[in-house]
């Protein structure tokens, strides 16, 4: 067992203030502004955001290069997700950098652990984490070879689930098409 802070550098996001100011945003930017709603609408990968930051907004936030692992620490806490493009995170997220652990293994461990973060809250209140709480959480760390085997196995299952979901959606479309044509 190791602390998360021993296997990754954990950095909390930052927000330009006041966040409602239009000067922080730009529709011409390629740097996404990650919000909790963007993450909850996504599965394993964050491929788009609703808002994008201006250069000025980027300078006041935490920049995260694509293919990094971030996790929500407020509202929907503990949801890990990979960034598929450059983004900035606000103080409701942390980023895991300089990993000393298999990134896929860490993703699956955090995904598995997600509901356990709620134990840090008081009943009836919204739970918020901070980078210190996340850093001090312990994680089971097998050998790197075992981490890789575990991550590869779980990735294969994820790929199968995505294929099955697509197949189910295709069947649903086919059913709708047939129903529309049968009852004309």
Alpha helices in the chain (DSSP H): 4-7, 36-40, 55-59, 103-113, 131-136, 144-182
All residues at 6 or more sequence positions from 74 whose CB lies less than 8 Å from its CB, including other chains: 36, 91, 92, 126, 127, 128, 129
pTM above 0.75, yes or no: yes
Q: Computed over its alpha carbons, how large is the radius of gyration of the chain? A: 19
**3 state DSSP class of 2:** strand
Q: How far apart are CA 80 and CA 83, in angstroms?
A: 10
Report pLDDT digits (tens) over 75-104: 889 999 999 999 999 999 999 999 999 999
- pLDDT by residue (tens digit) across 144-157? 999 999 999 999 99
Interhelix angle for 103-113 vs 144-182, to 10°?
Answer: 70
């Amino acid at each position: 067992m190791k602390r998360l802070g021993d296997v990754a550098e954990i950095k909390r996001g930052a927000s330009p203030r006041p966040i409602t100011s239009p000067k922080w945003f730009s529709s011409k930017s390629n740097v996404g502004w990650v919000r909790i709603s963007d993450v909850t609408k996504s599965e394993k990968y964050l491929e788009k955001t609703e808002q994008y930051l201006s250069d000025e907004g980027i300078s006041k936030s935490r920049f995260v290069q694509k293919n990094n692992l971030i996790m929500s620490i407020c509202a929907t806490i503990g949801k890990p997700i990979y960034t598929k493009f450059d983004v900035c995170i606000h103080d409701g997220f942390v980023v895991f950098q300089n990993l000393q652990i298999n990134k896929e293994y860490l993703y699956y461990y955090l995904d598995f652990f997600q509901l356990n973060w709620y134990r840090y809250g008081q009943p009836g209140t919204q739970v918020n984490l901070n980078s210190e709480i996340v850093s001090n959480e312990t994680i089971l760390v097998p050998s790197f070879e075992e981490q890789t085997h575990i991550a590869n196995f779980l990735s294969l299952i994820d790929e199968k689930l995505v294929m099955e979901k697509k197949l189910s959606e295709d069947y649903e479309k086919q059913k709708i098409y047939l129903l529309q044509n049968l009852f004309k």
